[in-house]
Amino acid sequence: MAERPTALVVGATRGIGAQVARGLARAGYDLALTGRAPEALAPVAAECGAWGAQVSTHLLEVTDVQRIPEVVAEAWEARGGLGLAVLVAGVIEAERPLWEVDPAELRRVIEVNTTAPMLLVHALAPRMIAAGGGRIVNLNSGSGTRASEVYPAYSASKAALSRITGSTTLAGAPHGLLAFDLAPGVVRTDMTGGMPMHEGRTDWTEPEEVVELVLALGSGDLDAWAGRMVRAGADAVETLQEAADQLAPADRTLVLQPYGPEDPLA
């Protein structure tokens, strides 16, 4: 019997993280799931177990920097290794200009959305490299690719996350370690449902579209997109595969746009 694939899902108690966990379980993965509350993790773990997955649960507040390497070690041991990690946990600040947001709120967004995944990669990468490789999917956002008058910390955190993804891939690819940015589109969750900018929205991204891309990224079918962003609701696995041969080095990455060929930064 073929060995079952294994995955870590960080932030699996609700929303996109829970949907990803269920989708991976249905696809035959054994799982390590993290969350802040055991009572929230338990029902997701039970659902995944009903699909035949072996599931371990690990309590993690991602701002607890001492706990992050401990959880990675626990999850790795529980599953006998991790071939895939999907880092979902994220928060957003109030919909206001930077100077109208409480500094503590700004700081928490950076800690959760940027510092935590950076430290998770820091803990995961050596283990994955020693095991022959692995894939890390960072839940990113189109908000990180452009400036906005509101959500400055969220946008900054996701732009920084893209650099973590790209740097991980450049350093890790020779050792079999790849990282990807996955923008989920606009899935109806507690977070998006509470954002004024989405009030009245009817064109939500289906969670199944996110799961489809996670599965393709985890399987290696989209390895050509390592270090780059893919977006649920806009990208399909087949079209991404077809476009893979056309990719230029900077495609789907954050770059500085020169003002013309005479720009000294071009």
- Sheet containing 30-35, strands listed edge to edge, beginning at the edge strand earlier in sequence: 55-59, 30-35, 6-10, 84-87, 134-139, 177-183, 229-231
Q: Is 29 one of the annotated active-site residues of the chain?
A: no
Distance of CA 245 to the CA centre of its chain: 24
Residue (of 9, 13, 3, 252) closest to 124 by Cα position: 9
Please identify which of the residues 29, 151, 154, 259 carries the catalytic annotation.
154
Report whether pLDDT(198) > 70. Answer: no
Cβ neighbors of 202 (< 8 A, separation 6 or more) are: none
Model confidence over 14-68: pLDDT tens digits? 999 999 999 999 999 999 999 999 999 999 999 999 999 999 999 999 999 999 9
Q: How many CB atoms lie within 10 A of CB 242?
A: 10
d(CA 255, CA 265): 11
Q: pLDDT value at position 118?
A: 98
Distance of CA 107 to the CA centre of its chain: 20
Q: What is the dihedral of CA 70, 73, 74, 78, to 10 degrees?
A: 170
Model confidence over 240-265: pLDDT tens digits? 999 999 999 999 999 999 999 999 99
Domains contained in the chain, CATH given: 6-246 (3.40.50.720)
Helix (H, G, I), strand (E, B) or coil at 136: strand
Average pLDDT estimate for 100-115: 98
* CA-based R_g, the chain, Å: 18
Q: How confident is the model at residue 208 (pLDDT cuts 50, 70, 90)?
A: confident
CA 112-113-118 angle, 5° bins: 90
Residues 247, 223 contacting (CB under 8 angstroms): no
Mean pLDDT of the chain: 93
Retrieve residue 35's tokens: 């969350």
| HSE toward the beta carbon, residue 74, CA cutoff 13 A | 14
Q: pLDDT value at position 98?
A: 97
Average pLDDT estimate for 176-189: 84
Name residue 30's beta-bridge partners. Answer: 6
Name residue 139's beta-bridge partners. Answer: 182
pTM: 0.93
CA 154-41-125 angle, 5° bins: 60
Name residue 234's beta-bridge partners. Answer: none
Q: pLDDT value at position 3?
A: 87
Residue ranges with strand state E in 36-141? 55-59, 84-87, 134-139
Residue (of 158, 163, 180) closest to 229 by Cα position: 180
The one-character DSSP state at 96 is S
Helix, strand, coil percentages (3-state) for the chain, rounded to 5, are 50, 15, 35
- Which phi-psi region, left, alpha or beta, contains residue 65 (left: φ > 0; alpha: ψ -120 to 50)? alpha
